[in-house]
Structure 1
């Protein structure tokens, strides 16, 4: 579905486009350069398949991209340090899984509310406020590590506060993207963002592994806190982004419910969320990485490679993603990518060589990037602007909540079933569920890009 000029949703899925912001009106020309025509041999092939960087021509998008890239690299130090610290304190994968619960509960509560706030207020101010809260939670993690408090409960509380901030900032940031670049560049912008985040997810955990092997855990949190200042700078430099349309007679809860009612009428979006929940809840083995590094791959030095492996594949896929925007049957492509993800994760769970596990997880990561780009692009081009914040709130709850449920599932199952069965069984189950959903419900497999 798409928004027509009156702001309504076209029932046949083909409606008109929304008007571009005035500052971009002169740039909304037909896509050039990314597709190529093949007339120049290797250069033509490269133009068709290399990552599309046209969105970086827009200064506001470029600044936000830089801020996100630097801060996301820093965040990976915290993302690795927290489970490693928790496992060191408790010697239990179940406690590592509880970190998923600590992140999930506030995420589910605040992501929907945060999306409604992003639709009702200046998105730049919402992003700034939530980013400051995120920074404060990182400083809290640094302080508890610096003073050696050794409290698993405090770790859970600080992770929960960080999740509240993320639940508001993530949908706001995603809802901003279509306001900064033309609609025909949204898929390219999403690919750049996902590729950037995965570059950070490669380099960050590797750096975190080196830091944690040589320095106290507080050092990793300090790196995150310092680098996050770049994201604050980028948010400050964004233009004002007041809502295009807001009904001031409604409450925030009414806004949330309206967004959920809209979602209930769009089976394509519901199914895309269901596929993602299956992929992350059933197949993500992240909570098992500290135990796998210790028991199977020779110690904590391997944990950085395990946390980086999925992102390595995503980076490779992103750098060769010029074809992604040309696929029309995006629903089928999404499901196929999830199936590959599940099978690759299952195979990695059988590996007893670190490098084989890394390679297989990288294959899964490549498939995960493809599915992530299509989910995000479908959502951003399906919903009208006045609903994008709320839809991104649901998206954030699903995309960030699924991995946290996956952490809990993996941590608890590993206590009773062991590392291998938990890891391999989850990957196979995700592939089976994805196929079952697309067979049972035809809306997703019939979906094509406009």
Structure 2
């Protein structure tokens, strides 16, 4: 394959001005979100010196998405999605402004800070699903994988550089300044959404309340391709998420050196960025289901290698491979789910995908910690990786439509 076709496909940015504006807004708001995460963790730790309170930050972010996600997805399938996105973006920006105000005031109770984080996550519960409905409207089906790969680059870039930038801003301007910069980045998010055309859902609007939620769940249960894609994601995250084991592995392989602890997450991010840059190697392939299954198998295999690696640096190389495999799986799963879902149901399916993406890693980290506590870190990693491989093989074998699914351009 020529190098130009192996690199990330920039066609969506060139051919679709609305997608280009939306992507730029995503880039800036992604960096802002990572800076706020660093600032919240720093502020909570400085005020409490308690890991229980810092752990509560993740809970404040996750619970609203899990509790309200499906209801928000139903609303996304009933209203003008552009207007809904403007409301959720405004809500997130307002919370960032309030966080900045309390950061400059100081001496605000930690519970109030976490309350603001939770309220912001309520807007994220709706903003995440509605954002996922835009790309299939703005790009033709054959460009959808490339558009999702570009979104993945924005996400991985924010993950890789955002925390470091947030740390610098904390040192220069304090937590208030860090929150304020995040609030300002929402200006670019508004720029991306305001230029979109009206985005009324296709087909019949979702039924209100619980009936609309149940309609979305029924679609997931009766559609093997979408169901198999989400089960594959759960297999990869719930069974083999390694992040909770990093401090233990760092103690065993690097004598607990705090300078090396960050290398584990950075290694995964480096692999993800590399896979995104060379995403042309897989976004142009006609069978995203097979690519997704292969990426998930590679994730499980790489984490098994990480658990078995005799050399600590070889272990980090396995994490780089795992990060690349994760990006391949995430991008192709997103393309497959969006291509297989009718527009009228996109909000609810996107909400379910967001919940799986939020809850799966949390449960996986809990599983890893419990297994390591009862056995060892190496056993938790290796058993999780192997269980992931077995589960993905079973999902692929039980879902032939997933293996045979082709992009419209390939039909």
Per the normalisation by structure 2, the TM-score is: 0.84
CA distance in 2, matches of 1:319, 1:138: 31
Confirm or deny: 8 A CA contact 2:247 2:256 kept in the other structure.
Answer: no
1:270 and 2:227 are equivalent in the alignment: yes
Confirm or deny: 8 A CA contact 1:205 1:304 kept in the other structure.
Answer: no
Confirm or deny: 8 A CA contact 1:96 1:287 kept in the other structure.
Answer: no
Residue in 2 that maps onto 1:22: none
Please list, as runs of the form range in 1=range in 2, the aligned pairs for 1:406-421 lying within 5 A after superposition. Answer: 406-410=364-368
Shift of 1:136: 3.0
1:48 and 2:5 are equivalent in the alignment: yes
Residue in 2 that maps onto 1:432: 390
Give the alignment partner of residue 281 of structure 2, picking from 320, 323, 338.
Answer: 323
Shift of 1:63: 0.3
1:192 and 2:153 are equivalent in the alignment: no
RMSD over aligned CA atoms reads 3.3
Confirm or deny: 8 A CA contact 2:82 2:198 kept in the other structure.
Answer: yes
Number of residue pairs aligned between Structure 1 and Structure 2: 404
Residue in 1 that maps onto 2:356: 398
CA distance in 1, matches of 2:395, 2:4: 35
Give the alignment partner of residue 242 of structure 2, picking from 285, 289, 306.
Answer: 285
Shift of 1:180: 1.2
CA distance in 1, matches of 2:317, 2:107: 37
Please list, as runs of the form range in 1=range in 2, the aligned pairs for 1:24-423 lying within 5 A after superposition. Answer: 45-56=2-13, 57-83=15-41, 89-92=48-51, 97-143=55-101, 145-149=103-107, 153-154=111-112, 156-211=114-169, 216-247=174-205, 250-287=207-244, 298-299=257-258, 305-348=263-306, 358-410=316-368, 422=380
CA distance in 2, matches of 1:232, 1:47: 33
Q: Deviations over 1:177-200 (max 9, x none)?
A: 111122221111111111221122
CA distance in 2, matches of 1:227, 1:283: 34
Confirm or deny: 8 A CA contact 2:245 2:369 kept in the other structure.
Answer: yes
CA distance in 1, matches of 2:131, 2:139: 13
Tell me: CA distance 1:312–1:154, structure 2 relative to 1, closer, same or farther (3 Å).
farther
Confirm or deny: 8 A CA contact 1:50 1:321 kept in the other structure.
Answer: yes
Confirm or deny: 8 A CA contact 2:141 2:407 kept in the other structure.
Answer: no
Confirm or deny: 8 A CA contact 1:116 1:256 kept in the other structure.
Answer: yes
CA distance in 2, matches of 1:280, 1:108: 16
- Other structure's SS at 1:120 match: coil
Tell me: CA distance 1:195–1:237, structure 2 relative to 1, closer, same or farther (3 Å).
same
Tell me: CA distance 1:342–1:155, structure 2 relative to 1, closer, same or farther (3 Å).
farther
- Other structure's SS at 1:241 match: coil
- Other structure's SS at 2:280 match: coil
Shift of 1:59: 0.9
- Other structure's SS at 2:77 match: helix
Long gaps (5+) in structure 2:
none
- Other structure's SS at 2:197 match: coil
Shift of 1:114: 1.9
- Other structure's SS at 2:213 match: helix
